[in-house]
């Protein structure tokens, strides 16, 4: 055995030999657990981002200048409750109030459209999109060798 | 008649079939790939120079990365080769972040582990023999023989001249042959 001479092919064969690990099942379980956790975190992050974004959008929606959705609804519904004898009229007024406020909202949205047309809005959006693309590209290139 | 009979026996499937099943959303197929190639990948990373828990972490990351990039597997080579390349990439990236491990002649961080001491050494124990090589030689020879990378690919990855890579591999091979041929009773003196 000791006088056996190894050549390159023998060394290659030795590299092809894989030892058996006692903890192989534990390693498999660990990989799959990590994978599930990562996928769960990613889905959770998307849901959370949607929730935060939705809440932010809602907050912006409620803060539209000269438009108080909450107050209008409350006053309309209060009128509907108080004037029990004139429910139908209160209802009509309630929807009338909502209709007028909707028109107000439409006009005030022009203000936001105006913001969206400013150069600063464009550059901020453009930079964010570029950053997203760059991150995606860097991530996709990471594993190629 | 039951539904169980319709599920294929994953242990009998080829890697390519398992990858296709994974792409179809079957996670158990990927678990079978992990079971099949886990030890091989852990060994590959260890042979490049990673130690114990680090090697297992990198193997795990490589599998997770492979799962995420499975749609990029082109089916033009062995799945395990693709997997090894991902692992090699991760290892090299980690090593670049810790320059002390790479391209150094200092052997002190790479003293053989206690389990691979002289008494336990066997003539054909490749892993113990690899422990005796300089880190850069070990890395080059493992990337070439285990990772199936060409000399040029190794040179590109390590940002070394092609000639340097070739000489590292040549020296590593000479030493491996010397160590493995020497027999279990010989005390090795690498580089001398």
The ipTM of this complex is 0.75
User: Do both B113 and B35 map to the same domain?
Assistant: no
pLDDT, tens digit (0-9, with 9 covering 90-100), for B137-192: 999 999 999 988 999 999 998 889 999 999 999 999 999 888 888 754 444 444 43
**Nearest CB to A145 within list B59, B85, B126:** B85
Chain centroid to Cα B138, Å, comes to 11
Chain centroid to Cα B7, Å, comes to 33
* Structural domain contains residue B2: no
* Structural domain contains residue A107: no
Q: Is B125 on the interface with A (CB under 8 A)?
A: no
Choose from A35, A39, A43 for mutation: most chain B CBs within 10 A. A35
* Structural domain contains residue B187: yes
* Structural domain contains residue B20: yes
| Number of domains chain A contains | 1
pLDDT at B128: 85
Q: Does residue B45 contact residue B87 with C-beta atoms inside 8 Å?
A: yes
Three-class secondary structure of residue A7 per DSSP: coil
C-alpha angle A125-A128-A130 in degrees, rounded to nearest 5: 110
Comparison of pLDDT for B125 and B36, the residue scoring more: B36
Q: Kindly report the CATH number assigned to the domain that includes residue B191.
A: 1.10.10.10
Residues of chain B with Cβ-Cβ distance to A11 below 8 Å are 126, 145, 173, 176-177, 180
Q: Kindly report the CATH number assigned to the domain that includes residue B19.
A: 1.10.1740.10
Q: Which of B143, B137, B120, B129 is nearest to B45 (CA)?
A: B143
| Band of pLDDT at residue B86, cut at 50, 70 and 90 | very high
Residues of chain A with Cβ-Cβ distance to B78 below 8 Å are none
State the residue for tokens 């994974």. Answer: B22
**For the purposes of burial, counting CB atoms within 10 Å of the CB of A116, is it exposed (0-12), middle (13-18) or buried (19 or more)?**
exposed
Q: Average pLDDT of chain B?
A: 80
Verify whether the Cβ–Cβ distance A28 to B142 is below 8 Å: no
* Structural domain contains residue A57: yes
pTM: 0.65
pLDDT at B56: 92
pLDDT, tens digit (0-9, with 9 covering 90-100), for A33-54: 999 998 888 888 888 888 887 7
H helical segments located in chain A:
8-16, 24-62, 69-82, 87-116, 119-141
- Who's near A27: CB < 8 A, 6+ residues apart? A21, B34, B38, B42, B56, B59, B60
| Number of domains chain B contains | 2
Tell me the residue range of the domain where B191 lies: 101-192
Residues of chain B with Cβ-Cβ distance to A142 below 8 Å are 65, 89, 93
* Structural domain contains residue B85: yes
**Tokens representing A12?**
């290659």
Tell me the residue range of the domain where A50 lies: 8-63
Q: How many CA atoms lie within 13 A of B186 on its CB side?
A: 14
**For the purposes of burial, counting CB atoms within 10 Å of the CB of B34, is it exposed (0-12), middle (13-18) or buried (19 or more)?**
buried
End residue of a domain, out of B76, B97, B118 = B97
* Structural domain contains residue B152: yes
Average pLDDT over residues A83-91: 64
Count of residues for chain B?
192
* Structural domain contains residue B176: yes
Q: How many CA atoms lie within 13 A of B68 on its CB side?
A: 21
State the residue for tokens 């590299």. Answer: A15
Residue B146 and residue B40: Cα distance in Å, rounded? 10
Q: Which of B50, B117, B136, B126 is nearest to B87 (CA)?
A: B50
* Structural domain contains residue A17: yes
* Structural domain contains residue A32: yes
User: Do both B82 and B126 map to the same domain?
Assistant: no
Residue A45 and residue A23: Cα distance in Å, rounded? 32
- Beta strand extents in chain B (DSSP E only): none
* Structural domain contains residue A13: yes
């Amino acid at each position: 055995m000791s006088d056996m001479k190894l050549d390159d092919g023998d060394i290659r064969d030795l590299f092809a030999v894989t030892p058996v690990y006692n903890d192989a099942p534990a390693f498999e379980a660990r990989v799959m657990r990590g994978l599930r956790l990562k996928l769960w975190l990613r889905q959770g992050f998307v849901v959370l981002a949607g929730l935060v974004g939705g809440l932010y959008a809602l907050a912006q929606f409620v803060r539209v200048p000269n438009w108080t959705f909450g107050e209008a609804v409350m006053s309309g519904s209060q009128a509907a409750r108080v004037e029990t004898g004139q429910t139908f009229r209160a209802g009509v007024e309630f929807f009338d109030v909502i209709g007028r406020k909707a028109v107000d909202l439409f006009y005030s949205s022009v203000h936001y459209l105006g913001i969206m047309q400013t150069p600063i809005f464009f550059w901020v959006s453009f930079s964010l999109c570029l950053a997203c693309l760059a991150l995606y590209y860097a991530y996709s290139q990471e594993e190629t060798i | 008649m039951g539904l169980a009979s319709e599920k294929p026996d994953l242990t009998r499937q080829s890697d390519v079939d398992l990858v296709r099943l994974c792409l179809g959303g079957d996670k158990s197929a990927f678990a079978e790939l992990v079971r099949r190639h886990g030890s091989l990948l852990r060994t590959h990373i260890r042979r490049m120079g990673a130690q114990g828990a680090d090697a297992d972490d990198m193997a795990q990351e490589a599998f997770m990365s492979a799962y995420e990039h499975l749609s990029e597997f082109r089916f033009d080579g062995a799945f395990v080769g693709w997997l090894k390349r991902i692992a090699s990439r991760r290892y090299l990236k980690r090593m670049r972040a810790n320059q002390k491990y790479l391209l150094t002649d200092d052997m002190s961080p790479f003293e053989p582990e206690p389990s691979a001491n002289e008494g336990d050494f066997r003539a054909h124990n490749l892993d113990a023999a690899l422990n005796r090589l300089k880190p850069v030689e070990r890395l080059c020879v493992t990337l070439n023989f285990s990772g199936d990378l060409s000399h040029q690919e190794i040179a590109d990855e390590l940002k070394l001249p092609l000639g340097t890579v070739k000489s590292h591999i040549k020296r590593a091979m000479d030493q491996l042959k010397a160590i493995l041929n020497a027999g279990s009773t010989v005390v090795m003196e690498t580089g001398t």
